[in-house]
Amino acid sequence: MKIKNKLTELLNNNEFVFLDGAMGTMLQNSGVEIPQIPEELNITNPRLIIDIQKKYLMAGSNIIYSNTFGANRYKAEASKYPLADLIKAAIYNADLARQEYMVWKGTLSYQLPLIAQSIGPIGKLLEPTGTLPFEDAYEIFKEQILAGKDADIIAIETMTDLYEMKAAILAAKENSDKPVICTMSFEDNMRTFTGCCVSSMAITLEALGADAIGLNCSLGPKEMFPIIEELSNWTNLPIIIKPNAGLPDPITGGYSITPKEFTEYMVELIPLGVKILGGCCGTNPEFIKELTNTFKSKTHITKTVEIPSAICTPEKTVIIDEPRIIGERINPTGKKLLKEALKNNDLSYILSQAISQIKDGAEILDVNVGMPEIDETKMMVKCIKAIQGITNVPLQIDSNDPAVLEAALRIYNGKPIVNSVNGKDKSLSTILPLVKKYGASVVGLTLDEDGIPTTCEKRVEIADYMLNRALAIGIPKRDLYIDCLTLTVSAEQKAAMDTLKAVSIVKNELGLKTVLGVSNISFGLPNRPLINHNFLTMALTMGLDLPIMNPGNADMVDSVFCYKLLAAMDIDSKNYIQKYKDVVISEGNSRDSLASSGSSLTSSGNGLASAGNTNGLTSNGIMNASASAGNIPETTSTKDSSSDINALFFAIENGLTSECRRLTGILLEQKEPMEIINDILIPVLDKAGTNFESGSIFLPQLILIANTSQTAFDVIKLKLATNDMVPISKGKIILATVKGDIHDIGKNITKVLLENYGYTVIDLGKDVEPQLILETAIEQQVRLVGLSALMTTTLKSMEETIRLIRENNLNTEIMVGGAVLTANYAKKIGADYYVKDAKESTDIAKQIFK
């Protein structure tokens, strides 16, 4: 605590705090040969390091960074010195520099400079782009922090991945009580290399408890101006700026600006509220001297901003300044296919649910995977990682189990919502500390030990109590969202208006954001959608910010769009017009031809990817009047089934997904699921396969046909699940990209093809341990294993996997594929089959599962 006070003392007065300048640049210019691991100099040439740090102190630095930027398990792997020794020596050197400086200064009463342990990026990318798991990143940082216990401050710097920064902050907070100051490196497009934006950085780091935040490296002070300006709108923490000496020269690598110019640009940043200043690459003690001299006559300006209620992922901040839809579909309650998917570890189904909700208009997704047969913690962590791997929409973590919440909060990238806490003391004292520690927002349910109150007043009272409890442990008001609880109107008719009244008071008098699960209102009554969307509109008018709902329900999404238009939130009606410009109103005044959602699940408008507009459907699923879906043979349910069969054949062959879905639905009324698969789906695929082999169609067409056929399969699966029938499976097949290899598109194409033939594919993903493949094969009694490798260097893992399976004498055959393989090599490493493409794998499967 002593040190925290020392830093706090520096931060609380009206003066600026000065960091040091570059270490690397100084080393390079020292003329000494720099070892591959520069931290070894801490032991081999301490004098060099001490002198550099002393120079910075003499130039006016209040805080010096230890020479430990790359001192982590990976980067210092090849060192002959133990990691802890490199770090300890660095801090010891900094301390010596400090002592020598104090002697030079000659006055003992002078404030002692502080030593910050510098912690840079690990040097390996975290999952999902890299292969380093978040949990491993945490352990790596923990090791550094424990070794650096003699430092005064922890300075995490030059980060470009918010996730890696989070791992480091957690490691710092859980393994020390030192202040943590955090800087990230941005490009001039206002994002880091991994796409993190300034607002997401600010709200996430502040929520995680950083003591000061800012920028270092990659740009000069001039280029940093707009980024610092943005940052200052999102935080009241002290802002750090540690820029390079301008931009480097492409050929010489030298930096472009002088200490004087550097300082002039830094002066311009004063009005933005910068507090802690230093230099990064290309700077030296001259820069720091010029900086401290010039700033002597300047005063720090404290800028206070009001920070809005907001949650985020690295790429996207969602401000709760107007109604935002929370998609409720990832919740197994009452959803058979989702339950099935959770039981089978089938993440792709869950991911497709995420994508379709975003496409339909969800801006936040609720994730609940609680069901009896599964390990909820494991599944929650897996789902959140997978969803965050493909989307940039913030999540609402939904569980009754605090352990599940904590596990999820740890690995969430950004700032999520926790669903939920309530007015019971036990809930408040368990959940709020988690929310505080991991920096989340939280939904507060207005119920307590006495249950759900019948009156509006009591609900408001509970909301108020929860607010005070949240404030007491340091959760800001903006991060509590109150759920006034929707009761079923058929059971408690008067309660609906009570709920709405409470929403209004909580919103307007307590000044809190509100959230409400909407659909529950209509339970037990006919024509539920009618009630739901009217209740939603009423709630929005009363001040509802976050409706939790099914965005697949177009009427309800329409209500939200329409409300935003009428409430003048949708400026110039832009979003409304964009969404509805193609709607055709027929004479009967009802909207025509609302096709079910389009074939492409590509999300739109979230900066990730625009909607792939296949087969004439607009991205919101409304049939576009001008675009025809090709020559679809006319079919209605009154015609005989043979024309439907032909039409389905045609639809699959031509990639018409919604038509395919519709026709399968019709055919299911007349035929057994297995009949449809054997008589239509498989013959289409067989024909496509033959055409592919003969060269009359090409791989993209084959994949497209398989992809379309999959939508027919989905309809069949849904029917089976709804009727509690046994799912179709012609046999189980494991697919995996072997250990060390991360090329998986070929494997994924193979998966789609095999699934369309009715096989159950257990997809173990990429970079898969041989042991896991073996265990799964044993546990699930799998007769066919498909392995993929794309690099000559990873063929070894393939061989190892095959050896392991053989050693255990399983009744399992192995097929292998991938660009580097040949039939001969496959034989050599003991595989049963070599498949040159995805199509061949279906031939092998047919042979095995006769």
Partner 1 sequence: MAVNMKITKINEKQVLRYIGYKNTTPDAEILKKMEACEKRLLETASQKYVYKIFDLAIKDNFEKPNSKLKEDFKIPTTNSIEISGSNLLLTGNSIVKHLRGCSRAILFAATLSASVDKLLRLLQISDITDAFITDAMASTLIEQVCDEAELEIKSQLELETQEQYYTWRYSPGYGDLPLSIQQSFLNTIDAQRQIGLCSTSSDVLTPRKSVTAIIGISNSPLEKSQRSYNQDGTNCHQSEINKCNTCNLRNSCAYSQIIKA
Binding residue count for partner 1, defined by CB under 8 A: 69
Q: Binding of partner 1 at residue 771 (CB under 8 A)?
A: no
Which residue in the set 148, 259, 740, 758 belongs to the binding site for partner 1 (CB under 8 A)? 740
> What is the C-alpha to C-alpha distance for residues 399 and 90, in angstroms, rounded to an integer?
45
Using CA atoms, how far apart are residues 754 and 644, in angstroms rounded to an integer? 25
Nearest Cα to Cα of residue 187 among 224, 161, 213: 224
Tokens representing 695?
């060269």
Of 159 and 462, the one with the shorter C-beta distance to partner 1 is 159
Among 30, 58, 130, 687, binds partner 1 (CB under 8 A): 130
Shortest Å distance, C-beta 404 to partner 1: 24
**620 is an interface residue for partner 1 by CB under 8 A:** no
Q: Which stretch binds partner 1 (CB under 8 A): 11-19, 205-213, 245-253, 412-420?
A: 245-253
628 counts as binding partner 1 under rule CB under 8 A:
no
663 closest CA partner among 686, 681, 685:
681
Give me the least distance between CB of 505 and partner 1, in Å please: 42
Q: Give me 769's structure tokens.
A: 């341990």
Q: Of 189 and 589, which has the nearer Cβ to partner 1? A: 189
Half-sphere exposure of 493 (CA within 13 A, CB side): 1
Residue among 357, 777, 718 nearest 551 (CA): 357
Told to check if 40 binds partner 1 by CB under 8 A, we report no
Alpha-carbon 265 to chain mean position: 35
Q: 290: Cβ–Cβ under 8 A, 6 or more apart, which residues?
A: 259, 260, 262, 263
* 129 vs 293, beta carbon nearer partner 1: 129
Within 10 angstroms of residue 302's Cβ, the number of other Cβ atoms is 10
**Which stretch, 51-59, 334-342, 409-417, 599-607, contacts partner 1 (CB under 8 A)?**
599-607
Q: Are 168 and 142 in contact (CB under 8 A)?
A: no
Residue listed under structure tokens 């900086």? 291
Residue number with CB closer to partner 1 (16 or 163): 163
What is the closest distance, in whole angstroms, from the C-beta atom of residue 144 to partner 1 in the complex?
Answer: 17
Binding mask 633-672 for partner 1 (x = CB under 8 A): ---------------------xx-----------------
Residues 689-728 that bind partner 1 (CB under 8 A): 698-701, 703-704, 706-707
**In the complex, least distance from residue 198 CB atom to partner 1, rounded to whole angstroms:** 17
| 476 binds partner 1, rule: CB under 8 A | no
Asked if residue 489 lies in contact with residue 521, where contact means CB atoms within 8 angstroms, the answer is yes
Integer Cα distance of 427 and 237 in angstroms: 30
> Considering only residues 160, 204, 396, 532, which one is a binding residue for partner 1 as defined by CB under 8 A?
160
Sheet of 833-834, strands arranged across: 760-763, 732-737, 784-788, 813-817, 833-834
CA distance 37 to 6: 32
Binding of partner 1 by 220 (CB under 8 A): no
Question: Dihedral of the CA atoms 213, 215, 217, 221 (nearest 10)?
Answer: -140
Binding mask 84-123 for partner 1 (x = CB under 8 A): -------------------------------------x-x
On whether the CB atoms of residues 119 and 144 are closer than 8 A, the answer is yes
Query: According to the binding rule CB under 8 A, does residue 804 interact with partner 1?
Result: no
Quote the least distance from Cβ 152 to partner 1, whole Å: 26
Question: Does position 772 bind partner 1 by CB under 8 A?
Answer: no
Q: Which stretch binds partner 1 (CB under 8 A): 127-135, 147-155, 282-290, 721-729?
A: 127-135
**Is position 31 an interface residue for partner 1 (rule: CB under 8 A)?**
no
**Residue number, 61 or 619, with CB nearest to partner 1:** 619
Residue 691 exposed, middle or buried by CB count within 10 Å (0-12, 13-18, 19+):
middle
CB 239 within 8 A of CB 232: yes
Name the nearest CA neighbour of 90 among 38, 26, 32.
Answer: 38
Question: Which pair of structure tokens corresponds to residue 153?
Answer: 């401050």
Q: Does 3 bind partner 1 (CB under 8 A)?
A: no
**Cβ within 8 Å of residue 238, ≥6 positions away:** 11, 17, 211, 212, 213, 275, 276
Q: Annotate each residue in 345-384 with x if it binds partner 1 (CB under 8 A) or - if it does not, as one string.
A: ---x--xx--x-----------------------------
Using DSSP, state whether 299 is helix, strand or coil.
coil
User: Per CB under 8 A, does 627 bind partner 1?
Assistant: no
Which window, 109-117, 137-145, 264-272, 388-396, contacts partner 1 (CB under 8 A)? 388-396
Preceding omega of 727 cis (within 30 degrees of 0): no
Residues that bind partner 1 (CB under 8 A): 35-36, 121, 123-125, 128-131, 158, 160, 185, 189, 192-195, 217-218, 247-251, 253, 348, 351-352, 355, 389-391, 599-603, 608-610, 612-614, 654-655, 698-701, 703-704, 706-707, 740-742, 744-745, 748-749, 752, 791-794, 819-820, 822
